[in-house]
Amino acid sequence: MEEDVSLFGIRGFLIDAPEFGTLHGQRGGALVIENGRISETGDYDDLRRLQRPKPVRWIDYGPVAIFPGLVDCHTHLAQYSAVARGESELLPWLRQHIFPVEREFTGPKARAEAPQFFHELARHGTTTAMIYAAIYEDSCEIGFEAAKESGLRVILGEMMMDLGSYGQLQPKKVVSVSLLESERLCRKWHRAEDGRLEYAFSPRFAVTCSEKLMRSAGEMAARFDAYLQTHLAENREELEKVHHLYMSARDYTHVYEKCGLLTPKTMLGHCIHLNPREIAAIAGAQSSIAHCPTSNLFLGSGLIKLDQLLKAGIPVGLGSDVAAGPELNMWQVMRAAIDVQKARGAYEPNLRPLRPSEAFYLATHGGARALGKGDMIGTLDVDKEADLIVVDLAALLPYPGNRNALAELSTEDILALCIYRGGPHANLKTYVRGKCVYRAPNLASPL
């Protein structure tokens, strides 16, 4: 790919959100990428005039915006083929539509789908993703191989479940086999490709995991300094199930606390139905939350109390959560995050809405911070690794031929167009560590 060079520059409208509530924009800007990192940022005309020991190869696609790559903190490799299926809530939906699809995700089917899945992530502008595979070792191994090839930044883990599993193993053997396989995968893939690939121990959730399994997963994650990911408090029926399974626990979160699953490297999916004690416990453990609004709307799971989580200081990122979320498009996830808070606002008059810049922060630097990567990626600052997307602004306009309209657009206007109309049709290029990992097929020569 043509930008696989050690030094190049890209021209465009630079937009990033370093903090929750701040939005930076620079019209006529440019970035210089050197050895995979952003080495210079500023005005295109100024940067172009600078004398350097080595000449910069400039890429100019016309009216484009350059954003930090999008971060998807929660999604499922083995479920993508089942998006938009069913009309039920979480537990019956899992049984009827998801377990049968995950059960098949092994061997040739996994080998056929996994490369496409990562290609789709890159095509949608996602540069970093935290992902669950199916329960089989090969589903995760094939996933890592495809992630390696894709060039994306990926945290992946074998799904662990020993209660009501769709697997064929005798229930007594599941824990030891699942732990052995997870350990093997972690030893092979955690921090592979110079840290671009990492491992997450992945107990599904308390409904399908014994205390023994969860405790062992927590111990192993600590031993390897790996990530942990699980689901928490997504749905009311799930809460009741957990209450009956773990009668001695004070609440759902307490089950995970007792098993050692709340750590600074833990990503908790959903967290819709939490009490104040649980929010304080998660904040105290410095665990992170993946908010998955398109999924929550699809399954009717509930409206997250995002303001309370953020006020408690919990790092929050966004997740597509396919297949409960119908697509990998993180712009749509941002839009849904805004809509969920608007829906709450209709019944809670003093609630402040979530602004587009804040949703964008959650999908970029916020997600990076939730994964402990805030120093590495998530903004367009000098010295960050160059995980970027290049978006065609004309493709977002109601009348794409009306290019004069582009000159009028403010930073906020461009961001709103992306959130309400963005997606792969407007994504020209995706870069990870300065390497092009996706290029729109109709893109003209870069120079």
Residues that bind Zn ion (CB under 5 A): 269, 321
Are β-strands 37-43 and 24-34 bridged in parallel, bridged antiparallel, or unpaired? antiparallel
* E strand or H helix that includes residue 73: strand 70-76
What is the closest distance, in whole angstroms, from the C-beta atom of residue 233 to Zn ion in the complex? 13
Pick 98 or 396: Cβ nearer Zn ion: 98
CB of 98 to Zn ion, least distance (A): 9
Q: Smallest distance, Å, CB 418 to Zn ion? A: 25
Kindly tell me which of 79 and 364 has the beta carbon lying closer to Zn ion. 79
Nearest approach in angstroms of CB 292 to Zn ion is 7
Tell me how far the alpha carbon of residue 22 is from its chain's centroid.
21
By beta-carbon proximity to Zn ion, the closer residue of 336 and 415 is 336
Phi and psi at residue 139, in whole multiples of 5°? Answer: -65, -35
In angstroms, what CA-CA distances link 175 with 26, 129, 165, 167, 209? 53, 26, 11, 12, 9
102/321 with CB nearer Zn ion: 321
Distance CA 341, CA 346 (A): 9
Q: What's CA 31's distance to the chain center, in Å?
A: 24
In whole angstroms, the minimum distance from the beta carbon of 95 to Zn ion comes to 15
**388, containing H or E segment:** strand 388-392
| Residue 321 C-beta: closest distance to Zn ion, Å | 5
**Residue 245 Cβ vs Zn ion, minimum distance, rounded to whole Å:** 19
- The residue nearest Zn ion at its CB is 321
Q: Nearest distance from residue 269's CB to Zn ion, in Å?
A: 5
Residue count of the chain, please give it: 447
In the complex, minimum distance from the CB of residue 238 to Zn ion, in angstroms, rounded to a whole number? 12
Report the nearest approach of Zn ion to the CB of residue 323 (Å): 9
CA distances for 97 relative to 107, 132, 206, 309, angstroms = 20, 17, 20, 31
Task: Please say which residue, 238 or 321, places its beta carbon nearer to Zn ion.
Answer: 321
Residue nearer to Zn ion on the CB measure, 162 or 321? 321
How many other C-beta atoms lie within 10 A of the C-beta of residue 189? 24
Residue closer to Zn ion (CB basis): 34 or 327: 327
**Cβ-based nearer residue to Zn ion, 63 or 269:** 269
Q: Which of 198, 196, 200, 202 is nearest to 214 (CA)?
A: 202
Nearer to Zn ion among residue 31 and residue 200 (C-beta)? 200
Q: Which is nearer to Zn ion, 139 or 427 (CB)?
A: 139
Distances from the Cα of 337 to the Cαs of 121, 267, 307, in angstroms?
19, 18, 12
Q: For the CB of residue 203, give the shortest distance to Zn ion in the complex, in Å.
A: 12
Which residue's CB is nearer to Zn ion, number 125 or number 269? Answer: 269
H or E segment and range at residue 420? helix 411-421
Q: Which one, of 158, 221, 146, lies nearest residue 437 by Cα? A: 146
Phi/psi for 330 (5° steps) reads: -70, -20
CB of 367 within 8 A of CB of 379?
A: no
Structure tokens at 346: 């209709």
DSSP secondary structure string, 225-267?
A: T-EEEEEES--HHHHHHHHHHTTTSSSHHHHHHHTT--STTEE
In single-letter form, the type of residue at position 381 comes to D
Report the DSSP beta bridge partners of residue 183: none
Residue 398: DSSP 8-state = S
**DSSP letter for each residue of 158-173:** -EE--SS-SS-S-HHH
